[in-house]
Amino acid sequence: MNSPKIFAVGLGLKTTNTKGETLEVYYHKAFVRSQNNSELVDDFVRLCSENIGYPGGNTTLSVNDYTLENLLEIFAKHEGTSSFLKGSENAHNRIVITILETNSTAQNVEEVYLKLSLLSHRAVKPHEQNLDGIFGILPNIAWTNEGAIDLEELPARQLQARAEGRVLSVSSVDKFPKMTDYVVPSGVRIADTARVRLGAYIGKGTTIMHEGFVNFNAGTLGVSMIEGRISAGVVVGDGSDLGGGCSTMGTLSGGNDIIISVGEKCLIGANGGTGIPLGDRCTVEAGLYITAGTKVLMLDTEGGIYGQQKARDLAGKDDLLFRRDSESGQVVCLTNEKPIKLNHELHNNN
């Protein structure tokens, strides 16, 4: 087979319900084929092809003893580590290999979780994968202190726990788990881990405070302060600050098909927000939400009005300051002369 075509591979441990249906997969190892790990992926796929009949395409396979032992040798060769579920027969029966030959639409839970894991492992960046249709594949699950549980099986599990003198705590009912139950990226601080979903991409140096939220296929590319909401599909550039309670309009909001992004060294003030892509060094003042249809008065360097535009016409442009005129209440835009600087000590999260 032509292994260079392989997009991604993963070695994981799945959870199933009593019907044998997969609820979620924890991918201990997940890689895309890149310059840094192409040989690892080639060895991984070659072993699966020769020993467990990998037929090509996007596939999830079970693992036999021989294959697992040899996979661990591959990881030891390329990464210097080979620890994976040694001495656990029960877990061994749930080990899966997922191979994505192409970055096409996911067909099952195993493929979706690999793609989400690749994002949170920083193996790919937001919008580099095909995530179409994943909501229809992912089951709605009770996320508990004992792991993922099928909602139909939850009452029986709760009763069993009580009978055994335990309390089964349900932290959420959702299609997505929190990221930190699967991966904690290096160099980050997350004050409330329940507010960051698996599939978030969190750049090294980012601090996410208690009210900060990051959805899947979204996140920060570098050092950022997040006290607001990064909605699905939104990417925030290095050095930017999202103030308390602010928001960004996601690609899932109101049929919006525009990819919203925030450039480098931007500031969205407390309770403000944007529904247009912002270029670098832009500021939206506190309490102001910019949408594509917002009418904006354009001011020159002397404060004089020289025209009016809709905010969509300013999308992606650098060095803009959006604020409301204190007398008229109209939204105005002028050159931003004071780009923000984050406190480097605050974001040294080693």
C-beta separation of 37 from 78 below 8 A: yes
Sequence-distant (6+) residues with CB within 8 A of 206 are 187, 188, 189, 219, 220, 222, 223, 224, 225, 226, 347, 349
As a residue count, the chain comes to 350
Residue 114 and residue 32 in contact, taking contact as beta carbons nearer than 8 Å: no
Residue 291 amino acid letter: T
Q: Does 326 or 139 have the greater pLDDT score? A: 139
Does residue 32 form part of some domain? yes
Phi–psi pair at 39, nearest 5 degrees? -65, -40
Residue 348: predicted pLDDT: 72
At residue 179, what is the residue type?
M
Average pLDDT over residues 147-160: 98
**Please, which pLDDT band fits residue 33 given cuts at 50, 70 and 90?**
confident
Q: State the pLDDT confidence band at 91, using cuts at 50, 70 and 90.
A: low
Same domain, 327 and 198: yes
If we measure between CA atoms, which residue out of 121, 114, 89 comes closest to residue 100? Answer: 114
Mean pLDDT throughout 22-41? Answer: 86
185 and 315 belong to one structural domain: yes
34 falls in which pLDDT band (50, 70, 90)? confident
Domain CATH code at residue 299: 2.160.10.10
Are 199 and 300 in the same domain? Answer: yes
Nearest of 289, 261, 253 to residue 277 by alpha carbon: 261
Percentage of residues in the chain having pLDDT higher than 90? 70
DSSP type of residue 221: S
77 or 348: whose pLDDT is higher?
77
Q: What share of the chain is helix, strand, coil (3-state, %, to 5)?
A: 20, 30, 50
Residue 343 lies in a domain: no
Same domain, 242 and 272: yes
Most confident of 47-56, 109-118, 254-263: 109-118
Known catalytic residue at 101: no
16 near 38, Cβ under 8 Å?
Answer: no
Six token digits for residue 346: 């605050």
Higher pLDDT pick, 36 / 244: 244
Among candidate residues 24, 110, 111, 227, the one labeled active-site is 227
Which of 226, 116, 223 has the alpha carbon at shortest distance from 179? 116
pLDDT band of 3, cuts 50, 70, 90:
very low
Q: Which domain holds residue 151?
A: 140-174
Within-domain flag for 103: yes
- Which CATH number does the domain housing residue 152 bear? 3.30.60.70
Instruction: Specify the number of domains making up the chain.
Output: 3
Residue 31's pLDDT band (cuts 50, 70, 90): confident
- Inside any domain, residue 341: no
pLDDT for 82: 61
Q: For 251-299, what is each residue's pLDDT tens digit?
A: 765 545 688 999 999 999 999 999 999 999 999 999 999 999 999 999 9
Give the orientation angle of helix 38-51 with respect to helix 65-79, to 10 degrees. 170
Is the per-residue pLDDT at 50 higher than 80?
yes
Cβ–Cβ < 8 Å for 292, 276: yes
Pick from 51-55, 129-133, 245-249, 334-338: least confident = 334-338
Q: Which residue has the higher pLDDT, 255 or 53?
A: 53
Retrieve residue 190's tokens. 């997350």
10 Å CB burial of residue 213 (0-12, 13-18, 19+) is buried
Whole-number CA gyration radius for the chain: 23
Q: Are residues 76 and 153 both part of a single domain?
A: no
C-alpha 87/C-alpha 244 separation (Å) is 47
- Is the pLDDT assigned to residue 72 strictly greater than 80? yes
